[in-house]
Structure 1
Amino acid sequence: MMDVETTRASYRPDRIATLFVGESAPASGDFFYFGNNAMLRHMQRATEAVLGQSAGDFLDRFKEYGWFLDDLVLTPVDNLAASERRARCLAAKESLSERIAAYRPLAIVSMLVSIRSIVETAAKAAGSNATLFGVPFPGMGQQACFHNEMLKIIPRLPRSAA
């Protein structure tokens, strides 16, 4: 299997306009940037509903928009007990803060309700004045809610001038 962080880095735009922050890459290997997974399909569906469809690969377009998906925790936590999962998320706040300071995004979207406060605290610690958004993760029956929230925020998300 390809390395998550190497693959993620290959999709990092030169200038990150909007930073999406997930909890972690899943233990299953269904990583967003590997393609052909539910998260990618939900993101593509919502984005194309607002911005329209275009030819080519969605992940390439995502990068061209200046959009980038990073994770709070850089190792899978979805297979851990709730207390350990929460502890790892809290412990990753400083690392995320450092990455936000380096990325300097104009907007940050937390992709899971339970990590939103950690992401917002990391952004503040980074000295970021990015506009902050949060959406529920599109799983566990939250797919429609994710889609509806994304329809509201996509028009407000900064994109590169590409």
Structure 2
Amino acid sequence: MDKEYYLKLRNKYLPEILRIIFILESPPASGKYFYDETGSTTEPLYNEIMKALHYKPIDKKDGLEHFKNQGFFLVDSTYKPINKMKYKERESTILSDFNNLIDDLESINGIESQLILIKANICRLLEEKLKLKGFRVLNEEIVVPFPSSGQQKRFHIEISKILELR
């Protein structure tokens, strides 16, 4: 699957009034993409974001509509599935696609929105770079882990802190 495939699924849920953009690493190699309506509501990222919003969707499309109606949007730092790559290769891909991320954010008027970075490497690699480009990153050095592998509780704690600060 290529970038256009992911953008087609994603852009269907671009809110009219964009409040917060969540920046993540990439679509997963498993194909369980956040914006894929045909996926399961139990997919880790989707499930934990719905819990953070205190919303119990009927199905995946229902939850995506709710996410959109709240003014939330999710953008990946790269649209190359990199979660199976070695750490250094992931970092290199994220950094080499940084200008594409900026173009993407500017095309959806993201400069006017607030950003929340999710996943330790995204926080470390992109927070300062995005701030230097004029984006409003809400993390303020709070590292939000990806909500899987036992990190779900910490994900909720850190997301709650950030949302309280805004």
Q: TM-score, normalised by structure 2?
A: 0.80
Q: Which runs of 4+ in 1 moved over 4 A?
A: 52-56
- Where structure 1 has 5 or more consecutive residues not aligned to the other structure, the ranges are 158-162
Q: In the alignment, what sits opposite 1:113?
A: 120
**Consecutive unaligned residues in structure 2, runs of 5 or more:** none
Aligned identity (percent) is 29
Question: 1:41, 1:138 → 2: CA distance?
Answer: 9
Residue number among 29, 43, 50 corresponding to 1:44 in the alignment = 50
The residue identity in structure 2 corresponding to 1:61 is: H
Greater Cα offset, 52-61 or 34-43: 52-61
- SS in structure 1 of the partner of residue 126 of structure 2: helix
TM-score by length of 1: 0.82
Q: Deviations over 1:115-153 (max 9, x none)?
A: 11333234224322x242241110122111112222333
What pairs up with 1:83-122 in 2 under 5 angstroms?
83-101=88-106, 102-122=109-129
Work out whether residues 23 and 74 of structure 2, in 8 Å CA contact, stay in contact via their aligned partners in 1.
Answer: yes
2:120 is matched by which residue type in structure 1? V
Q: Aligned equivalents of 1:122 and 1:69: distance in 2? A: 18
Q: Distance in 2 between matches of 1:144 and 1:53?
A: 18
Provide the aligned length of Structure 1 versus Structure 2: 153
Aligned-residue CA RMSD (Å): 2.4
Q: Which amino acid is 1:12 matched to?
A: L
Structure with greater contact order relative to length (CA < 8 Å, sep ≥ 6): 1
Aligned partner of 1:142 among 148, 151, 154: 151
1:33 Cα deviation from its structure 2 partner: 1.1
